Amino acid sequence: MRIDVITIFPDYLAPLREALLGKAIERDRIAVGVHDLRNWTHDVHRAVDDSPYGGGPGMVMKPDVWGEALDAVCGTAQTPVPRLVVPTPAGRPFDQRTAIRWSAEPWLVFACGRYEGIDQRVIDDAATRMPVEEVSIGDYVLVGGEVAALVMIEAVARLLPGVLGNPLSAEQDSFSDGLLEGPCYTRPEVWRGHAVPDVLRSGNHAAIARWRRDQALARTYRRRPDLLAALPTGTLDAADRA
Ligand SMILES: Nc1ccccc1-c1cnco1
């Protein structure tokens, strides 16, 4: 997979070069390009924003600068066509299903907006040439799309072959079966008077699997009943309902 990010703060994306993701890049599992939007300005002030038509607070990112940047990064008539992702509070919610879907893409380009957002014509024009998704990582306000891009890139990259040390992790983590993960424990057996649940030290793998499933169901019921309601019919068996 190739991932490109366009931003006015390239250093915000430095964490991509760290840890597992950094190693995956070194091993060419993922190719990452970070591009400074100001490279496509032509005025002495390198302006990327301007006042909003219709008035109101804040500034809007200029279409001409973004248009040139996207032409340069995404290409105008080359294949494969990238999927353009625009982080925005007004976007569709990003979730694990989206991460899984995008992990099959050959090329993602993230357009990180700041201020009040990017002139809508940039998105509308790009959509005539490539698939575009405006996506939110949650109902809160950030200063810009860079942190959202980091979140989404990590969620996607960890699903790619050769990125995670243990591929089983991706299959067994929260949301992989539609439920929240239950509690986890490691040594020591007793810590500050808190003991590890006996079942986890029993060696009875069937009982351990049952206990973990029950913990995941209980936690999901308490914290995210919406996930339970969204489970495909038949996901919960008789033992789950007992
Ligand atoms: N608040 C923001 C401001 C700028 C770009 C993205 C966001 C965002 C994305 N998901 C939630 O918020």
Q: What is the pLDDT of residue 236?
A: 86
Asked if residue 150 has its Cβ within 6 Å of ligand 1, the reply is no
Take atom 7 of ligand 1 and give the residue whose Cα is closest: 88
Q: What is the pLDDT of residue 164?
A: 77
Do residues 111 and 68 touch, judged by C-beta distance below 8 A? no
Q: Quote the ligand 1 centre to 93 CA distance (angstroms).
A: 11
Whether the predicted pLDDT of 195 surpasses 70: yes
Q: Quote the ligand 1 centre to 136 CA distance (angstroms).
A: 6
pLDDT digits (tens, 9 = 90+) for 105-159: 999 999 999 989 999 999 999 999 999 999 999 999 999 999 999 999 999 999 9
- Those residues whose C-beta lies under 8 Å from the C-beta of residue 93, and which sit 6 or more positions away, are 135, 136, 138
Do residues 6 and 109 touch, judged by C-beta distance below 8 A? yes
pLDDT digits (tens, 9 = 90+) for 72-84: 999 877 678 999 9
The mean pLDDT of 160-170, rounded to a whole number, is 73
Asked if residue 151 has its Cβ within 6 Å of ligand 1, the reply is no
The pTM assigned to this predicted structure is 0.93
State the Cα–Cα distance between residues 163 and 105, nearest whole angstrom. 16
Q: What is the DSSP letter of 223?
A: H
Active site residues: 89, 116, 158, 173
Q: Provide the residue type at 114 as one letter.
A: R
Nearest atom of ligand 1 to the alpha carbon of 114 = 4
pLDDT tier at 167, thresholds 50, 70, 90: low
Mean pLDDT computed over every residue of the chain: 93
Give this complex's ipTM: 0.99
Whether the predicted pLDDT of 29 surpasses 80: yes
Strand pairing report for 49-50 and 60-61: antiparallel
The mean pLDDT of 212-239, rounded to a whole number, is 92
For 6, the token pair is 């366009």
For residue 119, give the nearest of 209, 51, 32 by alpha carbon. Answer: 51
Whether the predicted pLDDT of 174 surpasses 70: no
